[in-house]
Structure 1
Amino acid sequence: MNGMDQLPLWVEILVAVLLLVSSLCTLIGAIGLVRLKDYFQRMHPPALASTLGAWCVALASILYFSVLTSRPVLHAWLIPVLLAITMPVTTLLLARAALFRKRMAGDDVPAEVSSRRNESGS
């Protein structure tokens, strides 16, 4: 590696820290997925930890390649932005499907919320 391709030490340290934080978040999400007992408990915390891990990897990538090319490299933002858009929708659809299956199986679950207003005037 010649002198032009070398990154400053502070960039290398920050990228390494972001990647370590990402791996820890992913590990926490995986442990949560194994340790939590119910499907509904397993949905939210691992998704948050994994999403935070993806944000850290994207930030590390943006920082590394922006400093390496001496210009802003922002296309790596697509990954966390798409995750932020699709993750809640996917989580909601999976939760509704699981709730529907539990209702059809006759399990004790919360009652369905009606979308119609009370027509008695209140």
Structure 2
Amino acid sequence: MHNFKVFNNDFSFKSFTAGYKLVFYGSTSIKKFEIPDIPVNYLNILDLKDIVEGMFQSNMLVYVVGGVTKIFQTQMIADNNKNKIVFTRTDMSKSLVQCTLWGQLAIYFYD
């Protein structure tokens, strides 16, 4: 995934109790691929928790290695473009974050 932000999951209405959420933008891109067995110490890969706590250099590009673990809700209503997908994503340390995609991004993800 590229071009997203991680925030505390502090909404009063939640479909999942994960401590973090991802916010996607029109420029967010997601590709499906198999995650190879990368030695954790080989690269300086950040956990979602580290990003939320600001434990990184803000002028450096950050990658989070992980994948989608479960899709909770799909809502595809093409008539009014109110498409929505709610899912959880994990990083290599098994931290979970809830994600929601709306509109055209939900269609891209669903396809």
TM-score with structure 2 setting the length:
0.19
Higher strand fraction (1 or 2): 2
Higher helix fraction (1 or 2): 1
Q: Larger Cα Rg: Structure 1 or Structure 2? A: 1
